[in-house]
Structure 1
Amino acid sequence: MRRRMLPLLMFAALPLGGAMAPAMPEPPAERVVLSRDTEAQWVPFDLTPGNQIQFRMTVDGRPVTAILDTGFSLSVVSRRFASRAGLKVSGGGEGVGIGGTVAMGQINGRILAIGGLTRSGGRLGVLDLPGGATGNGATIDAVIGSDLLRRYALDIDFAAQRFRLLPSGRLPFAGQTAPLSMALRDQFYVSEMSIDGTRLRPMIVDTGDGATITMSDEAWKSVGGVKPTTTTTISYSIAGPVTSELTVLPAVRVGETMVREAEARIEPGRGFSAQMGAAGRIGLGYLQRYRVLLDPGAGRMVMAAGSDVDRPPLRSTSGLLLGFYSDRLRVLHVMRGSPAASAGWQAGDQICSVDGQPITANYASEPISTWSVADPGRIVRLGMCGGGERKLTLERFY
């Protein structure tokens, strides 16, 4: 059965990974060119169920499916693509991602084309990119990171689902601003934010992280005032699953912008953010409420608010985070303090029907798929794949 992951809080989110920290020799000389008509070279994209920017580009003229991820400091291609294209892969590297470290190879001298940008020479990492990382079953061939993007102004128009690369210093639209620079060990995009008057910095600006806000455990402890109730959630990356605390903050400020009811994850112990020397990450759940211009060369992030800037987050009322397997749902995580936890649900339980309706291949697009975030008080009948039925009364628990 083909595994598929579905959206955050309706189901589990899937940040694809984090920064790459390879132990490799210096790359060969590279040449990067922006075309004269780069302003017109918009790249269309889809937001995956895992909340990443998925688009098409070419590597050596071959069309590939890629993710736009400022949280990767080295762009990579998948081992599947390298093998299919007959590319020679050198080993000896290691990547640091959300969830741990992974082995990484390298290839040199490829030609990459994204909208108005063409790069020849240079280096690409080679990784096993998990097929379930986007949640839509798509095979991901590449992840484009800050090594290609940071020289330019990256204009992301979420309303029109397109992006483009412009010369640094261009200001194609007006909006609120926040500081932006390249910093930390792996030269991340970094900014800052504040919660109830507590200033947190540096915050990694990570277009590959589908969450709204992620904080290190230390940063969370530094936030003053009365803190909201927390529960638990699970996410997946190139290095495996990670369990984090989850809460909804009354308000978060990033520069001149403010988002009310912002969902936030708190990484346990020495999580990825802490390892990178950051207070946390600003993810796509925050950024996609705006049209965003990321221009570290000009020292700014510009954000023009969209129509749903203050939309409230989807809150689970079931406590079940689920994976979809074409004809069934599999419990991946039971959220602490939830109705499902009280009812004894466990990771690995499998559901084959909801309120008498069988799980089919079209489940994700059917109205019944929203049951796990439905109104409190609703009683849902869940048919178990091994036989029998269990009832679950939905509640608000965080």
Structure 2
Amino acid sequence: MRLFLPLLLIAAAPVPPVREGVATLAADSEARWVPFDLTPGNQIRFTLTLDARPVTAILDTGVSYSVLASKSAAADPARITADGQATAIGGGGNGAVAVGWLPTRRLVIGGLTRSGGGVTVADLPALATGSAQAVDMLIGRDVTGGHALDIDYANHRFRLLPSGRLPFVGAIAPLTISAGRRVYESSATIAGKRLSPMIVDTGDGSALTLSAASAASAGIAKLPTTTTISFGLAGETVSTLAILPAVAIGQQQIRNVETRVEPPAGFSETIGVAGRVGSGLLQSYRVLLDPGAGRMVLKPGPDADAPPLRSTSGLLVGLTRDRLKVLHVMRGGPAAAAGWRAGETICRINDAPVTADYPTSALAKWAIGTPGTVVRLGLCDGTVRTLTLRQFY
């Protein structure tokens, strides 16, 4: 089970369209695939060119205006002006993040070139991707929204196409860009209830997130639940976690969906949406996002029916160099019963040392191991504890 990280950032005040620049597609844009990898936080990470400089970025359709990290080498402090605040996930559900504004000359992603405009500037900590190194940018709706976005998760590549193109056949769901929030939005049907709008957020590594009110109508209270933690640009948020037996996104029926429930008055309620569909769900499909044509297309991949990975340890950890820091102890899990606390550090697992490549190594699978397995966890103070894994939600 990954520690998923939502990055959604919505401008708090209207921004004149002229500041978005002019985006055009090359005649051969269909052939210009952009390779990507998935971060440990389950987000699409790739490289683009900004003012002749290569920068790393996350493709984030839940961001209304693309964000450049204030610590990026591409962020020239002399050219950044204060630009107020934006609303972001975190800090107990939602929060305000100070942003600046940096005019740009030319941004290139695959076959798309944007001339003029600019980007907002904010702090983008490494924790936002779940890896040791921060990215330079979040690429949002202002760059991609005028075109069709074809995401081939199975082959780790995406491309930008003219709106109206239909490069593959799949289940259709509605898709728009909201006038006020300026992000990609669709709907979901759970327990016969249509929930709308649902933000389609490729920058959110979780599968499905619901507001407290939406969760109540979906019958979450009848299911076994636990707690989990996630990190947005405004800080950390603790949510309820459950597995929904069935969800429909347009014509696509999806079984056993890991679902997070925000606390009352959380981010979704603050901005007036029912919740979010994240990359944790989308990555099991080939996805076409074409708001200009009013549609999202989902074509199931080979793992579309695979059950979600469940924690059997009840520990959610983050990597800090050569050690794991306990970020959250899940309610009702084995770790909670054994008295684990947030902030404790682990240096060895079954006598194997924690190393920098831990997030992508086989060692990381211990936390979702077979129920009944006994795991030896070596704390960094030299003590050793055992933890017996079990299913608890």
Fold agreement, TM-score > 0.5: yes
Give, in whole Å, the separation in 2 of the partners of 1:80 and 1:349.
29
Structure 1 93/36 Cα, relative in aligned 2: closer, same or farther at 3 Å? same
| Aligned counterpart, 1:250 | 245
User: Could you tell me whether the CA contact under 8 Å between 1:352 and 1:385 is conserved in 2?
Assistant: yes
- Candidates 127, 139, 142, aligned match of 1:144: 139
Report SS of the residue matched to 2:10: coil
| Aligned counterpart, 1:57 | 48
Give, in whole Å, the separation in 2 of the partners of 1:187 and 1:73.
5
Report SS of the residue matched to 1:282: strand
Structure 1 17/180 Cα, relative in aligned 2: closer, same or farther at 3 Å? closer
Give 1:179-194 correspondences, 5 Å limit. 179-183=174-178, 185-194=180-189
Larger mean CA deviation between 276-285 and 134-143 belongs to: 134-143
User: Could you tell me whether the CA contact under 8 Å between 1:192 and 1:201 is conserved in 2?
Assistant: yes
Kindly indicate whether residue 35 of structure 2 is the aligned counterpart of residue 32 of structure 1: no
Kindly indicate whether residue 222 of structure 2 is the aligned counterpart of residue 227 of structure 1: yes
| Aligned counterpart, 1:19 | 10
- State TM-score, norm by structure 1: 0.94
- Candidates 107, 111, 134, aligned match of 2:106: 111
| Aligned counterpart, 1:4 | none
Structure 1 117/78 Cα, relative in aligned 2: closer, same or farther at 3 Å? same
User: Could you tell me whether the CA contact under 8 Å between 2:20 and 2:142 is conserved in 1?
Assistant: no
Give 1:327-342 correspondences, 5 Å limit. 327-342=322-337
Structure 1 157/383 Cα, relative in aligned 2: closer, same or farther at 3 Å? same
Structure 1 216/358 Cα, relative in aligned 2: closer, same or farther at 3 Å? same
Unaligned segments of structure 1, at least 5 residues: 1-8
Report SS of the residue matched to 2:297: strand
Which amino acid is 2:155 matched to? A
User: Could you tell me whether the CA contact under 8 Å between 1:52 and 1:67 is conserved in 2?
Assistant: yes
- State TM-score, norm by structure 2: 0.95
User: Could you tell me whether the CA contact under 8 Å between 1:24 and 1:92 is conserved in 2?
Assistant: no
Deviation at 1:199, TM superposition (A): 1.3
What are the Cα deviations for residues 198-254 of structure 1, in whole angstroms up to 9, with x where unaligned?
211111111110000000001011124872111100011111111111111111110
What are the Cα deviations for residues 54-79 of structure 1, in whole angstroms up to 9, with x where unaligned?
01001101000011001000012111
| Aligned counterpart, 1:74 | 65
Cα RMSD of the aligned pairs, angstroms, is: 1.7
| Aligned counterpart, 2:368 | 373
Deviation at 1:23, TM superposition (A): 6.5
Give, in whole Å, the separation in 2 of the partners of 1:23 and 1:190.
18
Structure 1 186/163 Cα, relative in aligned 2: closer, same or farther at 3 Å? same
Larger mean CA deviation between 154-163 and 219-228 belongs to: 219-228
User: Could you tell me whether the CA contact under 8 Å between 1:58 and 1:114 is conserved in 2?
Assistant: yes
| Aligned counterpart, 1:389 | 384
* Aligned length, in residue pairs: 389
Give, in whole Å, the separation in 1 of the partners of 2:327 and 2:229.
8
Give, in whole Å, the separation in 2 of the partners of 1:222 and 1:355.
43
Give, in whole Å, the separation in 2 of the partners of 1:386 and 1:149.
48
Give, in whole Å, the separation in 1 of the partners of 2:121 and 2:308.
35
Give, in whole Å, the separation in 1 of the partners of 2:298 and 2:136.
30
Give, in whole Å, the separation in 2 of the partners of 1:29 and 1:43.
22
% identity of equivalent residues = 53
Deviation at 1:377, TM superposition (A): 0.7
Larger mean CA deviation between 183-192 and 58-67 belongs to: 183-192
Structure 1 176/276 Cα, relative in aligned 2: closer, same or farther at 3 Å? same
Kindly indicate whether residue 344 of structure 2 is the aligned counterpart of residue 349 of structure 1: yes
Which amino acid is 1:114 matched to? I
User: Could you tell me whether the CA contact under 8 Å between 1:233 and 1:245 is conserved in 2?
Assistant: yes
Larger mean CA deviation between 320-329 and 208-217 belongs to: 320-329
User: Could you tell me whether the CA contact under 8 Å between 2:69 and 2:75 is conserved in 1?
Assistant: no
Larger mean CA deviation between 52-61 and 127-136 belongs to: 127-136
Give, in whole Å, the separation in 1 of the partners of 2:328 and 2:224.
18
| Aligned counterpart, 1:153 | 148
Give 1:1-20 correspondences, 5 Å limit. 9-10=1-2, 12-20=3-11
Unaligned segments of structure 2, at least 5 residues: none
Give, in whole Å, the separation in 2 of the partners of 1:52 and 1:166.
21
Larger mean CA deviation between 331-340 and 176-185 belongs to: 176-185
Give, in whole Å, the separation in 1 of the partners of 2:107 and 2:16.
21
